[in-house]
Structure 1
Amino acid sequence: MRAVRIHQFGGPEVLQVDEIPIPTPGPGQVLVRLRAIGVNFIDTYHRTGLYRISLPFIPGQEGAGEVVAVGPGVTEFREGDRVAYAGVSGSYAEYNVVPADRLVKLPPAIDFPQAAAVLLQGITAQYLSVSTYPLKPGETCLIHAAAGGVGTLLVQMAKRRGARVIATVSSPAKAEVVRDLGADAVILYTEQDFEAEVKRLTDGRGVDVVYDSVGKDTFEKSLNCLRPRGYMVLFGQSSGPVPPIDPQILNQKGSLFLTRPSMWHYLLTREELLWRAGEVLHLVATGQLKVFIDSTFPLEQAAEAHRRLASRQTVGKILLIP
């Protein structure tokens, strides 16, 4: 099978297409023929070595396709099932072996590109708004990178929970997309000081929670946007890691809360996975959650997909199609 492998850490050019054997599922595993593969920022962290993995390895954490074989002891899935998964490595390939307890079945109304575009980032948006900081009606949140893969979904989920959404984006075109999704206010951070705008929009009070996937470039000002005892939810670092912080700063700025969540800690059991994924897939299947696919690339152009992701010009998800 064709697979994209990384033999050394570095830029997009280290993504190399190799021909390797199709893996065989072991006990409790399922072999999936991938039809669509999600490209996520965590893939770039693995590629550069920010998050270390033993070399060589196949990047990618998300995919959708058909079951072609099951290993011993697997009873929940059978050949031909349409499935998807998130949080399992080795996805930039034609086939992947996936633990059965990490797979979910797809509703008939959802196709493979939709599934690969929504599962990882949809679960992320779900746990952020439902569990990390459970948004309540009338509360105000600030969502950075609101036109990105997580951002477009998080805006919609926050509005479903009755929150007021202040969103930041980089261009007027992205601002229009986010407004159409229901954002109450949109800040062009390339032209406006988002901290000053948030304070103006909240009459100086600040927001209840900041959802920040940008990291280094936004972190300090994001803290300044919070009300006393507000929540800083740092769930990514697309601009680079945040420098070490003295906890006393959280006290000085209003007894703030700071958390750095990871999806894996919100999927500790199969029941939790089925709940979160089921909610996301139901919303997509019933037309209550709009999924944006920015662009698709063949497997051989994984490097171009990573360059596109890094350009910050995307609206929604980038996919690889084997």
Structure 2
Amino acid sequence: MNGQTICFHEFGEPQDVLAVEQRVVTPLEPDEILVEMIARPINPSDLIPIRGAYRHRISLPCIPGYEGVGSVIDIGIRVQKSMLGKRVLPLRGEGTWQQYVKTSSSLSIEVPNSITDDEASRSYINPLTAWIICKELLKRSNNSFLLVNACSSAIGRIFAQLSVVFGYRLIAVVRSSEYTQELLQLGAWHVINCSQSEVYKTVMDITMGQGVNSAIDSIGGREGYDLALTVRRGGLFLSIGLLSGLQVDWKRIAIELNIQSKIFHLRQWIQCISVHDWQNSFLQIFALLRQKQLYLGNVEARYNLNEITKAVQIAERLGRQGKLLLT
């Protein structure tokens, strides 16, 4: 059996190096399942590796895509027959930007009937990252201050919502006032438009000079360092992304600031947990979605796999009103 696959054979701009190919589906291992994909989002985390940011751990040719949802159409000899026809997230196996995806049955995540395909397809990278950080890494006290930059992003909106769940007072940093009202409605305690106000001064004003307990940086570079400046003594500065393409000055932070600082990589967390904890984390995410405590935002448009060039170009346009899905 052949399946349609998106692949890149060299690093470069996604619209230049991604190609649609036909791929032979090889036989399943005894504990594997074969999933026919329904939908997969286009995330920044999918596009960054294509440009070569992690070339030291990526083998070419490579099939991109970290998340998505599909239906089980075949199983290995050790997999229970009841898996056939189930909707699952086929994670930690092959890239999801293809028609058929193989993965381990124990690592796939069964999707409850109450969760839509659109929700399920986006319930891994951003929701799980934000959930783990809020639950396991941030220090909580009564009304802890949490500062998050690039907060108009998909994961920023999730942090705003989880701040309500976990009891943080979230200060959101954005570059445009058009996102202020939405973030406040989602759960942000205060919104700073950094194009109009200095982040450090504003944070010190609204925290009565104490600074924040924790700060989460998705940008890096100078903006990341400015975020670290606002963290109170002994607090936590956490880097989760590099939208600027520049690292923060870790040496300067270590020398000048008396705070904890670290990088969070979801893949490293995954390598250290049991299958039980892996599965249980998604039960928590699905519960939040079911209880309407978590909303993943709009889907702006859907594209077929053979429209990948157009899809990735549109995915990186400013001012989009929702996520793009490959269907």
TM-score (norm 2): 0.90
Q: 1:145 to 1:249 in 2, by over 3 A?
A: closer
Q: 1:58 to 1:189 in 2, by over 3 A?
A: same
Once the 2 structures are TM-superposed, how far is the Cα of residue 218 of structure 1 from its aligned partner? Answer: 1.9
Q: 1:77 to 1:294 in 2, by over 3 A?
A: same
Cα distance in 1, alignment partners of residues 90 and 140 from structure 2:
26
Q: Which residue identity lines up with residue 51 of structure 1 in the other structure?
A: Y
Cα distance in 1, alignment partners of residues 175 and 46 from structure 2:
22
TM-score (norm 1): 0.92
Cα distance in 1, alignment partners of residues 192 and 95 from structure 2:
37
Q: Which residue identity lines up with residue 170 of structure 1 in the other structure?
A: R
Aligned 8 A contact 1:294 1:314 in 2: no
Aligned 8 A contact 1:2 1:17 in 2: yes
Partner of 2:22: 19
Aligned 8 A contact 2:175 2:194 in 1: yes
Q: Which residue identity lines up with residue 268 of structure 2 in the other structure?
A: H
Once the 2 structures are TM-superposed, how far is the Cα of residue 43 of structure 1 from its aligned partner? Answer: 1.4
Partner of 2:282: 277
* Correspondence list, 1:50-61, <5 A: 50-52=53-55, 53-61=58-66
Amino-acid identity (%)? 24
Q: 1:312 to 1:217 in 2, by over 3 A?
A: farther
* Correspondence list, 1:109-124, <5 A: 109-124=114-129
Cα distance in 2, alignment partners of residues 168 and 88 from structure 1:
35
Partner of 1:37: 40
Q: Which 5+ residue runs of structure 2 have no aligned equivalent?
A: none
Q: Which 5+ residue runs of structure 1 have no aligned equivalent?
A: none
Partner of 1:6: 8
Which of the numbers 274, 288, 291 marks the counterpart of 1:286? Answer: 291
Q: 1:147 to 1:9 in 2, by over 3 A?
A: same
Q: 1:98 to 1:19 in 2, by over 3 A?
A: same
Q: Which residue identity lines up with residue 179 of structure 1 in the other structure?
A: L
Q: 1:130 to 1:183 in 2, by over 3 A?
A: same
Q: 1:190 to 1:316 in 2, by over 3 A?
A: farther
Cα distance in 2, alignment partners of residues 178 and 202 from structure 1:
19
Aligned 8 A contact 2:91 2:103 in 1: no
Note the aligned Cα RMSD (angstroms).
2.0
Q: 1:136 to 1:265 in 2, by over 3 A?
A: farther
Once the 2 structures are TM-superposed, how far is the Cα of residue 161 of structure 1 from its aligned partner? Answer: 0.9
Aligned 8 A contact 1:32 1:65 in 2: yes
Partner of 1:186: 191
Once the 2 structures are TM-superposed, how far is the Cα of residue 316 of structure 1 from its aligned partner? Answer: 5.4
1:90 aligns with 2:95: yes
Offset from partner CA, 1:201-233 (integer Å, 9 cap, x none): 212211110111222252110111110111011
Partner of 1:104: 109
